[in-house]
Each structure stands twice: as C-alpha cells, then as structure tokens.
C-alpha cells in the first residue's frame, strides 16, 4: 500500500466520525459548537480530497459512487502498487548482479539485454497504465526460476513472460544460469 | 602435391618422357612412328591445357615462366585446396550437428547464427586465392575446441578467428558446449 494510504484513510474516517457525532447531536436537538462542526466538515472534505488525489494519481480514469466501490478501488490500487514494487525489486536485482562468460563479446551482448530488461521493468512500473503480471517468485529467486523454465513444459509461464515483458524474456532466454552471479560482482 | 594436380602432372611428365625418347631417336636418325609421336604431343598438350585450367581456376592472375615457377604455383594451389577443404569439412560438421536448449527462441536464434557461419565458410572456400587461416584442430574436434577458448588467455586464436570468420566467431561465442549435439548416423 502507498505510505500515505493508512493515514489519509484514517483521517477521513476520524473526521467523518466527529462530524456524524455533531449531526447526531443536532438531530437530538442538543446544543453543538457550530464552528467546531464546520471545522470537522472541512477536515473531512480535505481528507476526502487527499484520498481522491491519491487514487487518481494511480488510476487517473478511476470513478466510484459508493464507499464499497471506493474500498474495492483502493484494494485494486494496492495490488497495482505491489505489482509495481515487484517490478522495481526485480529491476534492482538485475542491476545488482553480474555476468561471467569465456567471451567478452557475449558478456557485452548480455549486458545490453540486461539493460533493456531493466529499462522495460522500470517503464512498466511507472504510474499510469496497470502493469502486466510478472509470473514467478520474488526478485531474489526470480532469475534462478526463470532460467529453469523450458518449453514445452512451462509454456504458460513463458507466454505470460513474453507477452508482458519481451525484453526481460529475451534476456532470460539468452542467459545460462551458470553465467549469473547475484548481488555482488563476480571475481573472474 | 594435391590429389587434383598429381594425375595431370604425371600424365604430362609421362607424355614428355615418351616425346623425349622419340626426340632422341630422331636425333640419332632412327625411324619413329610419326603418328604415335603426334599422339604423344596431343596428349602432352591436353595435359598442359588441363594443368593451365586448374592453375587459373584457383589463381586467375598466376603467371609462370618455367617448370620451377609452375611447381611453386602447384605447391601454393595445394595449400589453398587444403585450406578450402578444411573450411568445407567444418561447414559439413556444422550442418551435421544440432542445437538443444530449454527455449525454442534460443534454438532458432542459434540455428540462424549457425546458418550464417556455414554460408561464410562455404563462401570463403569458393573465393579466389588463399582463404583466411582457420585456427584450431580438425573439423570433428573444432567446435569443442572453439567453445573452450576464453579471453584473455586465447586472445590470439580468437583474434585470428574473428578476423577471418566473423559469423563463425559469433556462432561459437554464443554457443555453450552443452547446447551442441552431433547427430550420430548409425549404419543400416
């Protein structure tokens, strides 16, 4: 979830609770501090505006008509946000690793493919469209997993990879698992 | 001397030996069978024609003034034919093998590189003059040898390979030894 979500959500709920409490008193013809109720109203309106901004920053074309629809949208956004984090984590994993091969030209070729894959992951993670689903485990195990995929046994996962991440798929198809050293630069 | 030159040279030398005998007889004012000597001359001329065709087919610009020059040229042709034969044998070896990999896209890519390498070898074997030097052992052990070359230890062999055979070099740089399988033909 975006870091501001819980705070803004809580802020709206708290403001609304206080405002509803004020309205309840009015309904029971009890005395209320009108200025205070107006402040609660303003606070609730501001919290609502903040939430709308957050939602629209992730899904610019989003629309909703009820709290249920809004909560469903927030849940969806949370998933998108997690998917983006996953892509960025894998991009970092790719950047952190190194490749070794007997031929310098092959290392250069693979470095170019890696660079394109990293760029693709970062672009897919940018705000705007919903990113495609990246199949497979978390970033630290992802390359090992992807290098073990083979046709025709893993056709479904490979199709998902290819259709969403063509450059990443190119990199993986060309990578042999013994060429990859995760995290630190390999000592040649 | 190459197997192509040898029979023609032998034929020429035999015809000339017979003509030399006839010349000796004429010199000693002995009778000769003119028809037979004419035939020997025709055979010698035919051998010369074949030899000239062979020389110019391999070395179109070649010129020579005496037998020593010709023998030197035939030695050169022998080396050229040997080098060409080596290239064609390797081309056949590349055609005979098979690429295996977990990913179909990589097999396709490697098959394309292999085809380019084969075309290059065949084109170099057809070109005029001495083809570039192909480093390494004979065809049946060549791929294993080439896949074991690494930088910087084998920089010289790799440089020679790269200079003369760009496509072949690209193919072996991209080939992992476990990807190459030689088809075994079992006798029926």
Average pLDDT score over residue span B99-123: 97
Assess B150–A contact: CB distance below 8 Å, yes or no. Answer: yes
What confidence tens digit (pLDDT) does each residue in B115-150 have? 999 999 999 999 878 899 899 999 999 999 999 999
Task: Say yes or no for a CB contact (<8 Å) between A102 and B104.
Answer: no
pLDDT at B2 over 60: no
Could you tell me how many residues make up chain A? 188
Residues A111 and A160 in one domain: yes
Distance between CA B113 and CA A174 in Å, rounded?
Answer: 14
Task: Say yes or no for a CB contact (<8 Å) between B176 and A102.
Answer: no
What pLDDT is stored for residue B29 in this prediction? 77
Task: Say yes or no for a CB contact (<8 Å) between B176 and A174.
Answer: no
What pLDDT is stored for residue B12 in this prediction? 86
What confidence tens digit (pLDDT) does each residue in B55-95 have? 888 888 889 999 899 889 989 998 999 999 999 999 999 99
In a domain, A75, yes or no: no
Q: Give the mutation candidate from A173, A177, A188 for the B interface (greatest B CB count, under 10 A).
A: A173
In a domain, A76, yes or no: no
Residues A177 and A108 in one domain: yes
Cβ distance A161 to A135 under 8 Å? yes
Residue by residue, DSSP assigns B78-119 as: HHHHHHHHHHHHHHHHHHHEEE--S-HHHHHHHHHHHHHHHH
Give the tokens for residue B36. Answer: 């037979």
In a domain, A124, yes or no: yes
Low-confidence ranges of chain A (pLDDT < 70): 1-6, 184-188
What pLDDT is stored for residue A5 in this prediction? 66
Q: Is the peptide bond before A152 cis (omega within 30 degrees of 0)?
A: yes
In a domain, A143, yes or no: yes
Which residues constitute the domain of residue A13? 5-58
- The percent of residues above 70 in pLDDT, for chain B, comes to 96
Q: Which residue has the higher pLDDT, B185 or B1?
A: B185
Q: What is the pTM of this model?
A: 0.74
Residues A54 and A128 in one domain: no
For chain B, what is the mean pLDDT? 90
Which residues on B lie below 8 Å from A173 (Cβ)?
Answer: 103, 105-106
Q: Provide the Cα torsion B66, B74, B128, B60; round to 10°.
A: 20
Residues A88 and A45 in one domain: no
Total count of domains within chain A: 2
Nearest to B22 by CA among B38, B10, B37: B37
Average pLDDT score over residue span B150-163: 94
Residues A94 and A174 in one domain: yes
Q: Which residue has the higher pLDDT, B49 or B120?
A: B120
Chain A residue set in contact with B, beta carbons under 8 Å: 102-106, 109, 148-151, 158, 169-170, 173-174, 176
In a domain, A63, yes or no: no
Residues A102 and A146 in one domain: yes
In a domain, A173, yes or no: yes
């Amino acid at each position: 979830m975006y870091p501001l979500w819980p705070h803004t959500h809580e802020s709206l709920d708290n403001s609304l609770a206080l405002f509803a409490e004020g309205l309840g008193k009015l309904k029971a013809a009890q005395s209320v501090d009108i200025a205070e109720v107006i402040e609660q109203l303003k606070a609730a309106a501001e919290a609502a505006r903040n939430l709308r901004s957050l939602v629209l920053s992730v899904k610019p074309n989003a629309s909703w008509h009820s709290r249920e629809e809004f909560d469903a949208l927030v849940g969806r956004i949370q998933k998108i946000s997690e998917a983006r984090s996953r892509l960025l984590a894998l991009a970092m994993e790719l950047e952190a690793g190194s490749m070794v091969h007997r031929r310098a030209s092959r290392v250069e070729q693979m470095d170019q493919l890696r660079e394109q894959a990293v760029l693709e992951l970062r672009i897919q993670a940018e705000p705007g469209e919903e990113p495609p689903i990246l199949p497979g485990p978390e970033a630290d195990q992802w390359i090992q997993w992807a290098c073990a995929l083979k046709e025709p046994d893993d056709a479904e996962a490979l199709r998902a990879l290819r259709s969403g991440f063509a450059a990443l798929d190119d990199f993986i198809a060309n990578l042999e698992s013994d060429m990859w050293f995760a995290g630190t630069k390999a000592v040649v | 001397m190459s197997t192509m030159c040898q029979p023609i040279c032998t034929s020429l030398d035999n015809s000339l030996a017979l003509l030399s005998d006839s010349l000796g007889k004429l010199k000693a004012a002995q009778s000769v069978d003119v028809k037979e000597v004419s035939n020997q001359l025709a055979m010698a001329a035919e051998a010369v024609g074949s030899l000239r065709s062979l020389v110019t087919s391999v070395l179109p610009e070649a010129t020579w003034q005496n037998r020593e020059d010709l023998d030197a040229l035939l030695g050169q042709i022998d080396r050229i034919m040997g080098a060409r034969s080596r290239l064609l044998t390797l081309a056949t070896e590349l055609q005979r093998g098979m690429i295996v990999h977990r990913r179909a896209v990589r097999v396709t890519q490697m098959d394309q590189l292999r085809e380019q390498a084969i075309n290059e070898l065949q084109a170099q074997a057809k070109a005029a003059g001495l083809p570039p030097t192909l480093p390494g052992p004979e065809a049946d052990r060549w791929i294993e040898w080439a896949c074991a070359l690494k930088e910087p230890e084998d920089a010289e062999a790799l440089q020679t390979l790269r200079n003369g055979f760009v496509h072949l070099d690209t193919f072996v740089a991209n080939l992992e030894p476990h990807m190459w399988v030689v088809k075994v033909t079992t006798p029926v």
